[in-house]
A and B are shown apart, each in its own frame.
Chain A
């Protein structure tokens, strides 16, 4: 039996011939591991960059979002489970879109970036990497929307071609990761630090699920960690949970919980804290941390007004606002 060990993510799957890794899409055929969804995405859409969400990276730009089947996490509340919890052979829709054609498609549709997203781009690593390399040559930016469950060495290599990442920090609790996602917290924190060290623009999303990860102390602990390890200027997005997939027994996150989380994170010292998946007056607005000038006004995923100077500074006090603005 020609077993192989996949070293891409911390699972270190030991895969016998004819078997797949835990992600379902990296398959041992003839003693070699195959990336079976390379160039064969199952989801391709044009999105506003705010949908990722990335609020401090080219606001208002269009991005071509791409994803293949498979994921190395198995969250009970996954919103893309029809895509993420299936292998390529189970997909009804498979596009033939190798890296060069993906980049051409992004340019044809006047997108400024390609986002590797929806499932987890870690499991289609080779496809993301080659596409990102080609995209960069074509002057496009590369965005990763990920849970960050990847080993350090492959991530460092990937960072060479990444411009920005939104990493889902699902809870500041290893037990939650094990129970709800079938993963561990430690490697995710390592990935966040690596992304930051390698100069990739990082934003963090935390989906607050009632009773599971919405305790004040967890929010505070997470915000402190972000402040100390990634920097106080790291944008943090608290996102509202909606019951779905295998977690239909819990209600949507109450508005008060999201506001409590935002207040806690601000109190700890984070400068840019947002609330997502919830209609509200200033949930997605960017304010100057010094004088509270409204800099970017958003409604949902739409940028209504952008008052930042060309260099990305506050027009009133002149302070530079962290981010990549154009």
Chain B
């Protein structure tokens, strides 16, 4: 992968001048390259990684569930059409087609446990081509998108060494 993309994947807020200096490029070149990536759909967006465990108590903590879904592929469209029906629901934050025991893996987020249950019972399970679901509620996040949620490992090095 392009180094510019690697840096942006690590830190979506990296400034243009810093990216330019780090990659030994002109700032204009960086701006243009980012625009190209955005226009041709390589860069799909910029988001913030939030450690929800760390939210204060007065803020409600959303509930996340990973849901395995078995579906029946269709003659013309395979899995794609059914997947679209499912991922169009706003509760579905991610949707992947997987190899293995199930076909789709969803990451579903809702305000509370009930809402997730509602989604499965009312939206997902009744779908014509969905014949099995299995939900796993997340209890704790240790790491997300390369970011460690525990404070970083301690630095054992001497502060000054020759």
Q: Do A and B bind each other?
A: no
B binding-site residues for A, Cβ under 8 Å = none
